[in-house]
Amino acid sequence: MKTLLAASVFAVLFAAPAYADFNLDSRYSDEDGDLVADIPTNEDELVDPDTLIFTYTPVEDPAVYEDVWQGFMEHMSEVTGKEVEFFPVQSNAAQLEAMRAGRLHVAGFNTGSNPIAVACAGFRPFAMMAAEDGSYGYEMEIIVPADSEAQEIEDLRGGEITFTQETSNSGFKAPSAILKGEFGMEAGEDFEAGFSGSHDTSVLGVANGDYEAASIANSVMKRMIEREVISADQVRTIYQSQTFPTTGYGTVYNLTPELQDNIREAFFSFPWEGSALEEEFKKSGEAQFIEISFKKDWAVIRQIDDANEVSYTCS
C-alpha cells in the first residue's frame, strides 16, 4: 500500500501565525485571550437547566452512539445532579444551531467544526479522547476501492473525489488545502467534488465501489473495520496526512461556573474500564479523556481554515 505524507503544505501552514484572524461573534467576550468565550459575569445571563442535553458529532447511525454514550451520561448525571438526555443530530449545521440557540449544553464537535462552534455558538472545549499513554489524534486519509487503478493522488486528476461536509477537517478542509497546496489540484478544475454527508457514508461508498475516492478520518474507518461494517481489504489508502486533534468535548459558555466545573469533573472521572465507551473507542486506540487547549491544540486547524480562506461568519 503506497502512502504519501503531507510535508510541504504543512511546512507552509506551520510557518503562518498560529493565532491570527480568529474572532468570536459579538455576543461573546474573550477578556483572558484564550480564544474561547468567557463565562458571563452577569448572573442574569447564566443558565442552570434541570436537564442537560448532550450530543456526539454527527455519525451515520446516531442510535448506535446513543447506546455507546449511555453509561457516560449516567455518570454525568450522578456527578452533576442533573438529568442527561442524548440529542441525535444528522449534520454539523444542526449541532451548531442547537448550541447557538440554547438547546444544547454539552457536546463533542468534530475537529473541523470546533473553530466555528467556538466562534459562533459559544462552545468551550476542554477535553478530547486519547490513548493510555496520552497520545491522541487521527489522520486524514484519501482512500480508493481496493481494485481501483489509482495508485497516487495524481491518478485522481480528472475524476471525482467525495468529501463529507464543508465543516469537516479531514472530510473537506484539510484535503482541500493539501490537494491545492501540494498537488495543484482544485475542485471544479482538476477534479469533481461530491459530498456524502458523513465519514461513515464515504467509507461505505468507497468500500462498495460507489465512490472513486474519498477523504476520511481514519479513526472512523478503523472503528468500522473493527465492527465489521467493512473489511480492510475493500479499501486502499493512497494518501495519509499528519496527525490532527480529534473530537473536542465541552460546554456552552453560559452554564453556571459550578455546573461547568461539574461537567468537566464528569469527563475526567469517568471510569472507562468495562464501559461501552471503552468497547467502542478502543477500536481507534482511545482509552481516556485528556485536557486540551483550543488556542494551542487547534492552531493547525485554524491555519488550514486560513489556507482555505475560511471566515467564521455567524448568521
The CATH class of the 17-135+245-307 domain is alpha beta
Q: Which spans in 34-109 are helix H?
A: 62-80, 92-100
Which neighbouring-strand residues pair with 52?
84
Do the beta carbons of residue 5 and residue 223 sit within 8 Å? no
CA distance 129 to 275: 14
The residues spanned by each domain of the chain are 17-135+245-307, 138-244
What the block records as the C-alpha cell of 55 is 450530543
* Residue labelled with grid coordinates 461513515: 200
Topology alike, domains 17-135+245-307 and 138-244: yes
* DSSP helix/strand/coil, 274: coil
290 closest CA partner among 237, 249, 252: 249
CA distance 213 to 207: 10
Do the beta carbons of residue 277 and residue 86 sit within 8 Å? no
The dihedrals phi and psi of 115, each to the nearest 5 degrees, come to -60, -45
Which neighbouring-strand residues pair with 47?
255
Taking CA atoms, 204 is separated from 90, 162, 200, 312, in Å, by: 17, 12, 6, 31
- Please state whether beta strands 160-163 and 192-195 pair in parallel, antiparallel, or not at all (unpaired): parallel
Count CB-CB contacts under 10 A for residue 179: 24
pLDDT at residue 212, rounded to an integer: 98
257-269 vs 62-80: helix axis angle to the nearest 10?
120
* 8-state DSSP, 255: B
What b-and-e string marks burial along 106-137, b requiring 16 or more CB atoms within 10 Å of the CB?
Answer: bbbbbbbbbbbbbbbbbbbbbbbbbeeeeebb
* DSSP helix/strand/coil, 26: coil
CA distance 145 to 242: 22
* DSSP helix/strand/coil, 199: helix
- Terminal alpha carbon distance of the chain: 44
Which neighbouring-strand residues pair with 129?
289
pLDDT at residue 7, rounded to an integer: 37
237 closest CA partner among 297, 152, 167, 299: 152
List the chain pLDDT tens, one digit each, 315 residues: 333 333 333 443 444 444 446 899 999 999 999 999 999 999 999 999 999 999 998 776 777 789 999 999 999 999 999 999 999 988 889 999 999 999 999 999 999 999 999 999 999 999 999 999 999 989 999 999 999 999 999 999 999 999 999 989 999 999 999 999 889 999 999 999 999 999 999 999 999 999 999 999 999 999 999 999 999 999 999 999 988 999 999 999 999 999 999 999 999 999 999 999 999 999 889 999 999 999 999 988 998 888 888 878 786
pTM for this entry = 0.80
Do the beta carbons of residue 102 and residue 71 sit within 8 Å? no
Beta strands in the chain (DSSP E): 51-55, 83-86, 106-109, 123-130, 138-145, 160-163, 192-195, 214-217, 235-244, 248-252, 288-291
The dihedrals phi and psi of 18, each to the nearest 5 degrees, come to -70, -35
The CATH class of the 138-244 domain is alpha beta
